[in-house]
Chains A and B, each alone.
Chain A
Amino acid sequence: MLDNEDFVLDTSPRELTQNPLRKIWLPCKNGHILQRRVCMTNCPTLIVTVGLPARGKTYISKKLTRYLNWIGVPTKEFNVGEYRRECVKIYKSFEFFRPDNEEGLKIRRQCAMSALNDVRQYLSVEGGQVAVFDATNTTRERRGTIVKFADQNGFKVFFVESQCEDPDVVAQNIVQVKLGNPDYIHCNTEEAIEDFMKRIKCYESSYQPMDETLDRDLSYIKIMDVGRRYLVNRVLDHVQSRIVYYLMNIHITPRSIYLCRHGESDLNIKGRIGGDSGLSARGKEFARNLRKFLQEQNIKDLKVWTSQMKRTIQTAESLEVPYEQWKSLNEIDAGVCEEMMYEEIQENFPLEFAMRDQDKYRYRYPKGESYEDLVQRLEPVIMELERQENVLVVCHQAVMRCLLAYFLDKSAKELPYLKCPLHTVLKLTPLAYGCKVESVCLNVEAVNTHRDRPENVNVQRSTEDALQTVPAHF
């Protein structure tokens, strides 16, 4: 925050220099880059889940963590149940959770404290911005302890409560994620379900849901019946607003998302990047095979999305179904390197080529974009994908890597090297806490466009070293 006293008139304005990798303009003096006054989201945020067992708290925690990390907000989840499993190696039965089990209560309290300590470490020391504290937190007392902890450490608190009384949803939940849980590895299905239902009962009597009146000064969202209804109270800042928007757009209706690239293009064959060329003969064949594949899949109400580039649209046209063009799905803009071969980039811009290999995620082409920029422009696509059900996205290599990284929780370091070959469709189906991936190669030959990170990324490297991993082309 600035007072007017902060407005020091600089008669000799600071020089600006452009960071060669990210192409960001930064102030510098005598050649040294000055510490950029970065605008961070003030204080770290602690997201606290609330709810009876089998209400989707861990599902929400993991999904939210994945989303926030993908959009660039360092986030980590802390599941108290896992701390408990560390502490009590063997789970015997629901009796552990009985409200009159003094020893059990003591252990559980210790686990919560231990988790909070790790939260403090993550947010205050390790530079994390959001911590998701995943536990039942069903009593006002427990929540009060957490709020105090947050106040002491300068963290904002945002509660996410999930309330659901639909027995079918709860049962489905238990089947999907509890049966496979380490706690029930040695039980058969019936035993496990019976025990878990009794476990839930242990919490029910002391459950105090977030209250409109008693908790009116807290920031929270109450999710009712898996998203039919939401109560949102006192959203404090940008991050909380984004979290609310995200939580209000996700659903658990079974569906599949199909990701593929356009068919092989004329520029692909020549080993040239970017551009706006049409499909090669093999690319057209892929499009026809794609149509057959989709018909065989018998997908209900499939939506088809493309970019606004000729090659994805040509691919979609062969499907003979309505499709929607998204400019945000356009391939990464390679700026001055558009339509060049890697060999030409090495010849004309060897420094740029080396820097790209040094940090492919953050590297921005001159007058172009970076993967980091792509993620930002793809965020509305991801949001809409969350809202939708069955969708086929016909896009491009870099774009597909970004989308895949979101669904498979890949880090920024891994993202630019994910394998997304031409003529292969990935079918993603949400399963338990993650995503099942089925890779279908539609049996049409295509050039390989994947470039691995070469060993030598030094700007002084030889041409040979630089071109070590460039794929073959015509």
Chain B
Amino acid sequence: MALTADGSEQKELTQTPLLKIWVPWMGCNLNRRRGSSVPQFCNSPTMIVMVGLPARGKTYISKKLTRYLNWIGVPTKMFNVGQYRREAVKIYKNFEFFKQDNEEAMNIRKACAAAALKDVTAYFTKEQGQVAVFDATNTTCERRAIILNFAKEKGYKVFFVESICEDPEIIAENIKQVKFGSPDYVDRDIEEAMEDFVQRIECYRASYTSIDDDKDRKLSYIKIFDVGSRYLVNQVQDHIQSRIVYYLMNIHVTPRSIYLTRHGESELNLLGRIGGDSGLSPRGQKYANALAIFIKSQNIKDLKVWTSHMKRTIQTAEALGVQYEQWKALNEIDAGVCEELTYEEIQRDFPSEFALRDQDKYRYRYPKGESYEDMVHRLEPVIMELERQENVLVICHQAIMRCLLAYFLDKPGDELPYLRCPLHTTLKLTPVAYGCKVEPFFLNIEAVNTHRERPVK
């Protein structure tokens, strides 16, 4: 170690081989690293607490929010108290379970909530979780006070998300979409299920107290009215809560589809070379034409088309003969010094890099390039805008498409880089219930295979 002018030791910096992050060389004592390259989203763990009558979209919001936070790198887990109840009471008879005067049921429900809170603690303390989404009705002041005390004791932040809606059509649609398929109603026909569920809602209504804008003015919360027509936001404490509010204010439930595809086969694809900015091969051009025919046949209302800034996606879009918007954020992963090389050449010239990439393909950063993790970060505004939009066709690249797909299909970091996104195949994603339906359309134009399997250890 070099000595500085005043005699103190100056620690040298060394670049970690996988992430390409500069850290002070401290021998084996990496724990005392001062610099953090992981975004500091939150210091203390945060509990997001849902509030609202049944069929107000709490679970929909919980699942979506959890998926989004995990995708942007904030370890998040959802705790649905209804599931705990289904564990405890194997068979659901009817709405009477939820009656206010049903003491036995009340005790079970309280115990379930407590069990869920216990698991929240375990998630934060033992599993390094950062955010827990506590999904239950939490419709009484009393219940919310219990949660607040619990959080205060443990040093967790609390952010309430209340969904308020009295539009009977929305509620009926909600019940149809997600309640009929629920384990509670598996053996019931639609009319019975609907009738029972409506009674269930009534059981909560009498004791429902909305978060009070005056009495609860010190709490941090967002109230969502009528599926996003209006919001009330109170006391946002920190960065993560601000991001959550922004996300919740951008999502909607209007039915629509998102089409994801790669550019047509490119000249460099044919040569087995990665990256670069080449044009389409003849087969790639055929695919672009086939895509135009396919899109027309889908009869899509008000379709937006997005491409990257790279020639091959733009050429593909040109064949559609419609307006398209170019996003630099949709550019393929920057392979740095490995740009335009074949995998054989990378193995020959950078064997240790090649090995490191296979060790942790999600976090591995190319020298002077990017990692999948970096790409997720730059794709976040794209995802946010996709949430705002309705029907969109995104013409992009293999690594990009994997990142976007992982967001929609809730795939974790270690699966993301191995998702199959072959050339000349369009994926149609349609939100359904709590998830996403995927329909692949192979447009019958041959292309090279660019997929590299996860190597066997």
Contact = CB atoms under 8 A, between A and B. Distances in A.
Contact of B22 (A10, A25, A27, A308): A308
B232 interface: yes
Interface stretch (A78-86, A314-322, A347-355): A314-322
Contacts of B246: 241, 245, 248
Most buried by B among A2, A6, A24, A249: A2
Interface stretch (A112-120, A159-167, A225-233, A431-439): A225-233
A6 B321 contact: yes
A231 B231 contact: yes
Contact of B292 (A7, A25, A237, A288): A7
A244 B311 contact: no
Given A39-B323, A313-B13, A231 B35 contact: no
Interface in A192-242: 212, 216, 228-235, 237-238, 241
Nearest to A338: B368
Contact of A4 (B36, B299, B325): B299
B249 A241 contact: yes
- For A229, A276, A320, A327, which residue has the most chain B Cβ atoms within 10 angstroms? A327
Interface in A283-323: 284-285, 288, 306, 308-310, 313-314, 316-318, 320-323
A412 B428 CA distance: 40
Residue from B217, B232, B329 having most chain A Cβ neighbours under 10 A? B232
A443 to B, nearest CB: 15
Contacts of A8: 321
Nearest to B276: A367
Interface stretch (A11-19, A126-134, A418-426): A11-19
A241 B213 CA distance: 24
Interface size class of A (residues with CB under 8 A): 35 or more
A37 B13 contact: no
A90 interface: no
Interface string B222-237: 0000000111111110
Interface string B255-295: 00000000000000000000001010000010011001101
A278 B4 contact: no
Contact of B233 (A24, A230, A317, A327): A230
A95 interface: no
B143 interface: no
B232 A16 contact: no
B34 A317 contact: yes
A9 B36 contact: no
Contacts of A278: 13
A387 interface: yes
Interface string A341-376: 000000000000000000000000001000001001
Contacts of A39: 304, 323-325
B287 to A, nearest CB: 12
B22 A309 contact: yes
Which of B34, B315, B385 has the most chain A CB atoms inside 10 A of its CB?
Answer: B34
Contacts of A456: none
A414 interface: no
A306 to B, nearest CB: 7
A228 B236 CA distance: 7
The size class of the interface chain B forms with chain A is: 35 or more
B22 A37 contact: no
B132 to A, nearest CB: 23
A18 B311 contact: yes
A404 to B, nearest CB: 23
Contacts of B40: 324
A428 B368 CA distance: 32
A304 B385 CA distance: 31
Q: Which of B233, B302, B304 has the most CB of A within 10 A?
A: B233
A377 interface: yes
Contacts of A216: 230
Contact of B245 (A238, A248, A323): A248
A325 B249 contact: no
B43 to A, nearest CB: 12
Contact of A322 (B34, B37, B304): B34
A276 B13 CA distance: 12
Contacts of A276: 368
A462 to B, nearest CB: 32
A218 B455 CA distance: 57
Nearest to B235: A228
Contacts of A377: 378
B192 interface: no
Contacts of B277: 367
B113 interface: no
Most buried by B among A10, A232, A284, A309: A232
A13 B315 contact: yes
A445 interface: no
Contact of A2 (B230, B303, B319): B303
Contacts of A367: 277, 339
Nearest to A7: B296
Given A288-B4, A310-B13, A376 B22 contact: no
Nearest to B310: A25
A337 B22 CA distance: 23
A228 B246 CA distance: 16
Contacts of A125: none
A384 interface: yes
B250 interface: yes
Given A37-B323, A229-B232, A232-B230, A9 B292 contact: yes
B152 interface: no
Contact of B324 (A37, A212, A228, A324): A37
Contacts of A288: 4-6
Contacts of A18: 311
Nearest to A275: B368
A322 B34 CA distance: 5
B428 to A, nearest CB: 17
Given A16-B315, A27-B318, A325-B37, A232 B328 contact: no
B5 A229 contact: no
B146 to A, nearest CB: 25
A212 B4 CA distance: 65
A105 B4 CA distance: 72
A2 B339 CA distance: 37
Contact of A317 (B11, B20, B289, B304): B11
A16 B249 contact: no
B91 interface: no
A23 B328 CA distance: 11
Nearest to B40: A324
A321 B36 CA distance: 11
Interface in A247-264: 248-249
Residue among B22, B295, B318 with max Cβ neighbours from chain A (10 Å): B22
Contacts of B176: none
Nearest to A233: B230
Contacts of B184: none
10 contacts: A6-B321, A9-B319, A13-B288, A16-B314, A228-B217, A229-B213, A233-B230, A238-B385, A245-B249, A308-B20
Given A13-B288, A16-B315, A308-B21, 5 more contacts: A11-B289, A16-B318, A229-B232, A376-B328, A377-B378
